[in-house]
Copies of this chain bind each other. A is one copy, B any other.
Amino acid sequence: MGDRALGLRRGGASTSLRYRDVIPLGGMEQVEQVEVDQAPPGYHDDKDAVLKRLRRIEGQVRGLQRLVQEDKYCIDVLTQVAATTKSLQAVAMQLLEKHLDHCVREAMVAGGEVARDKVTEASQAIERLLRT
């Protein structure tokens, strides 16, 4: 977490509540906490692409409503539900890969407890995706 990382964070705006957990009991300098809280998410560089995908998925869901509104055949609606689910999973995979490549990687380079916690957290997220 050198200058580059700090510069990167200054440009960001998101909150990573998780990082707060590793703030020592004695506290830490305010300036650093703010930097940590504003760390950009792993998908920062793909943000536009992710938003574009999500807007397309919104369109798919509205398309589903139209199919149902027009009493379309069950199987045709189900085919579109499967396609929409597939699109959601593609977004999940993109977010997950970026999360591993940025958030998890940073934690691993930092090492220690944080790294271990990030692996547990990522594994639980993967398990939630697997169960759907």
Contact = CB atoms under 8 A, between A and B. Distances in A.
Interface of A: 12-18, 38, 40-44, 47, 50-51, 54-55, 57-58, 61-62, 64-65, 68-79, 81-82, 84-86, 88-89, 91-93, 95-101, 103-105, 108-109, 111, 115-116, 119-123, 125-132
A20 to B, nearest CB: 10
Contact of A128 (B15, B78, B119): B78
Q: Which 6 A-B pairs have the closest CB atoms?
A: A14-B71, A16-B73, A74-B99, A85-B132, A97-B123, A108-B108
Given A41-B74, A51-B65, A71-B44, A85 B89 contact: yes
Chain A interface SS verdict (over half): helix
B71 A40 contact: yes
Contacts of A89: 85, 130, 132
A58 B62 contact: yes
